[in-house]
Chain A
Amino acid sequence: MKILLIEDNTDLASGIEKYLSDEGYHCELSQTVEQALEKIQLYEYDCILLDISLPDGSGFVILEKLKQLGKQDGVIIISAKISLDDKLKGLSIGADDYLTKPFHLAELSMRIRALIRRRKFNGNNIIQQGGIHIDLAEKIVQYNGKTVEQLSPKEFELLILFISSPHRVLSKGSIAEHLAGDNADTFDNFDFVYAHVKNLKKKLKNAGCPGYIHTIYGMGYKFKVEGL
């Protein structure tokens, strides 16, 4: 899988590149609009991570060029701008997703997976991992053919987050933000993350699924499938 990362901050770019490389992606880096325009005309990418504020112009130019060229590359905007207008503008010009800085790498990875799944597999709605079979459209989870008890929407999202970042430590903070967004701070601690993880684990276990979700002391959780 090829990813083009258009980001002018080298520290941020290298951090993202390292994480994504570990996930098995091939990352290419552009730091300016000019470089990026050259690359998108020459190559095809499965996903383009696009920063909007670049030293030589706005990332929107690249989005427009992609549209003009009739390219089908998926685009996720990563921007420091929180403004709703920017988000709507980006999505209307053809971006697939919008992530505001600072984001968790696990969140980014999950969004990339979801994007590629939608684009590459023509909206294939099935995710499989370690015997777990998830039908995204029907919201049905099975383990080795056995249907898991109906998950709540939050538990369902949690499971997808875990499966999207196997063998990665997911901090309670990143899970909380993923589940509750801006309202993650309604609780002073992450008890609700704990509650959701506990329920999810229980439901999976009842369907005979082994304990894939591990607690990492002081940090959070890790989804680990043997032999992967």
Chain B
Amino acid sequence: MKLFHKTLQIYLTFSIVVFIISIPLFYFLVEKLWIEDVDDSLFFHKEKIIAGISTSGIDSLAIDNFTRVALDFDLGISVFPLNENAAEKDSVYYNKFYDETRTHIEPFRELKSVVNVDGRSYEILIRKDLVESADLIRGIAITQSILFFVLLAGLILLNNYFAKKTWRPFYHLVSRLNTFRIDKEQPIEPEKSNINEFNDLGNSVSELTKNNIRRYKAQKEFTENAAHETQTPLAVIRTQTDLFAQDKNLTKEQARIVEKMDKNITYLNKLNRNLLLLAKIDNDQFSLNEKTDVFLVLQETIDIFSEQIGLKGIQLKQNLNHHPVILSNSYLMQLLFTNLIKNAVKYNVHGGFVEIELNAGFFKIVNSGDEQPLPANAIFKRFYKQGTSETSSGLGLAIASRICELLQLKIEYNFEKPNRHCFKIILK
């Protein structure tokens, strides 16, 4: 879930709860205020009527007339003279009547009061129409809903525009971290923000990547220099060994020692070259924009190994039907095929088979070999060695996988029973 959505979700949930509570709350509050106001107004009218009666000193006939007129005009006021003297407490209550003009029941509030004015008793009834509850609720609900939607729209807009703007440095960092490659040697530069926490985070990430890049570079340079510097002493040892081998008085035992030395010089040389090659690949020293006919490169590489394949009694099945052309580097491409074919021959059994397939979508090489699958997660690691081979640097497949990574190709290893080892490269 995105951070925006999370915050928005919380805001929305809270708003809905407040909205739901607010409707009955408003309803009761408004109704209470309304009734109080109506009651006040009823008592006010009563006082006015009493004052009217006492000052004008009207008789009972006039009052009857007044009440009739008031009824006719539906003024909601009636005054009845009482025969005996009575005194009752005022009572205010709800009542309902059927409104003929509007053909539905209307609620109203009524004040019933018995008063003595100038020695005579009157019963005064005053009523006022009330707003129907349904109308009130509807009114409140509509108002609240409008407010709610305004709030909602506001929240979303604020979230989208202002929050996004505020969080931008953060998302910038996240996206840079996602695509960060230590070998690209570009530290992450944070975006300036007016929020301190983001600035701190940005600076920390920037420092961290700078440090890592510096260390990576130092390590890479060390590998490169070490490999280079080793070549000269190796050359000295090889020259001396060659000279030593020319000695006519060498015993068989000494000859064997010289041979072993020579073999290991070759091995060390190979190791150095492979390390240098990896360093060069890591350094991006290869251009990757050559249009490469995979078929031609593959054919050339197979030709290099045809002799070795023949000598080991290996049967080679080729199924090369396409000429996929990809943007790559022909040297690296050849190196890739060389490493895979070399492995397929080297770790094959005498009289085994190698199957090479190339079509528009993939390159596949299958070879016979051990009846055990290779550990798929370890074979592409540097210095992984299969068995106890003395001439293997353990870098062949690491280089192959590194080249694939550089060329953005996918390489995978599969094992099929009983002894089919398969390497497949998906061509884009």
Instruction: Verify B308–A187 contact, CB threshold 8 A.
Output: yes
Instruction: Verify B252–A104 contact, CB threshold 8 A.
Output: no
**A80-B235, A104-B238, A217-B252 known; A18 vs B273 contact (CB < 8 Å):** no
Contact mask B256-279 → A, CB, 8 Å, 1/0?
Answer: 101100110111011001001100
- The residues of A that contact B269 with a CB separation of less than 8 Å are 102
Known A15-B240, A217-B255; further 9 A-B contacts with Cβ < 8 A:
A15-B242, A15-B243, A102-B235, A104-B238, A171-B258, A174-B242, A182-B270, A183-B304, A184-B266
Any chain A CB within 8 A of the CB of B85? no
Question: From residue B282, how far is it (CB to closest CB) to chain A in Å?
Answer: 14
**A101-B234, A102-B238, A102-B269 known; A185 vs B246 contact (CB < 8 Å):** no
- The residues of B that contact A201 with a CB separation of less than 8 Å are none
Instruction: Verify A82–B273 contact, CB threshold 8 A.
Output: yes
- The residues of B that contact A183 with a CB separation of less than 8 Å are 304-305, 308, 338, 342
Question: How far does the alpha carbon of A98 sit from the alpha carbon of B104 in the complex, in Å?
Answer: 111
Within 8 A of B (CB), among A166-222: 168-169, 171-174, 177, 180, 182-188, 191-192, 195, 216-220
Any chain B CB within 8 A of the CB of A16? yes
Question: From residue B313, how far is it (CB to closest CB) to chain A in Å?
Answer: 11
Instruction: Verify B276–A82 contact, CB threshold 8 A.
Output: yes
Question: How far does the alpha carbon of A74 sit from the alpha carbon of B122 in the complex, in Å?
Answer: 143
8 A-B contacts, Cβ less than 8 Å apart?
Answer: A15-B236, A102-B235, A103-B238, A171-B258, A171-B259, A184-B266, A185-B392, A187-B346
What bracket does the count of chain A residues touching chain B fall in? 35 or more
Instruction: Verify B232–A12 contact, CB threshold 8 A.
Output: yes
Instruction: Verify B234–A102 contact, CB threshold 8 A.
Output: yes
Binding site for B on A (CB under 8 A): 9, 11-12, 15-16, 18-19, 22, 78, 80-84, 100-106, 154, 168-169, 171-174, 177, 180, 182-188, 191-192, 195, 216-220
Any chain A CB within 8 A of the CB of B389? yes
B236 interface neighbour in A9, A78, A216, A219, Cβ under 8 Å: A9
- The residues of A that contact B258 with a CB separation of less than 8 Å are 171, 219
Which of B246, B265, B305 has most chain A Cβ within 10 Å?
B246
- The residues of B that contact A220 with a CB separation of less than 8 Å are 245, 259
Any chain A CB within 8 A of the CB of B239? yes
